[in-house]
């Protein structure tokens, strides 16, 4: 009985972590004196055991571009997260920027 409880403890309380891998910011100088609107987009994917693709990155990028149709995006920041679980992990990408209409 004790070994079963110990096994359940290991399965529930080990192997889980949350990490911010990368944060990047691009030049904000183009925003001075302009009418800019803050826009954002996210992409995420859940993987079981191993990574298969990065399609969520392209999806987030396209969503950000669609929110500024006909304008220029400046001041872009990116945040890349990973949440580890038992035999699985989630990846998430957050993109933010300022849309300047031409």
Q: What is the pLDDT along the chain (102 residues), one digit of tens a residue?
A: 777 666 556 555 555 666 777 788 877 776 766 788 999 999 999 988 888 888 999 999 999 999 999 888 888 899 998 888 878 888 999 999 999 887
Cβ neighbours of 98 (radius 10 Å) = 21
Instruction: State the pLDDT at residue 49.
Output: 81
Tokens of residue 93, six digits:
């990408």
Q: Please provide residue 54's backbone torsions phi and psi, each rounded to the nearest 5 degrees.
A: -125, 35
Q: How far is CA 19 from CA 37, 58, 77, 82, in A?
A: 29, 21, 17, 5
Q: How far apart are CA 75 and CA 27, in angstroms?
A: 5
| pLDDT at residue number 28 | 75
pTM over 0.85, yes/no: no
Kindly calculate the radius of gyration of the chain based on its CA atoms and give it in whole angstroms: 19
Residue 15 — φ and ψ, nearest 5°?
80, 10
pLDDT confidence of residue 68: 93
pLDDT value at residue 30: 66
Query: What integer pLDDT is reported at residue 40 of this predicted model?
Result: 96
* Nearest by Cα to 42 from 18, 63, 67, 25: 63
């Amino acid at each position: 009985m004790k070994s079963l409880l110990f096994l359940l403890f290991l399965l529930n309380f080990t192997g889980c972590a949350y990490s911010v891998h990368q944060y990047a910011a691009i030049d904000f100088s183009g925003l001075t004196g302009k009418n800019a609107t803050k826009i954002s987009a996210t992409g995420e994917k859940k993987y079981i055991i191993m990574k298969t693709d990065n399609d969520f990155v392209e999806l987030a990028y396209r969503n950000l571009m669609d929110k500024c149709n006909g304008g220029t995006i400046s001041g872009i920041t990116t945040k890349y997260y990973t949440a580890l679980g038992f035999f699985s992990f989630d990846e998430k990408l957050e993109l933010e920027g300022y849309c300047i209409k031409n």
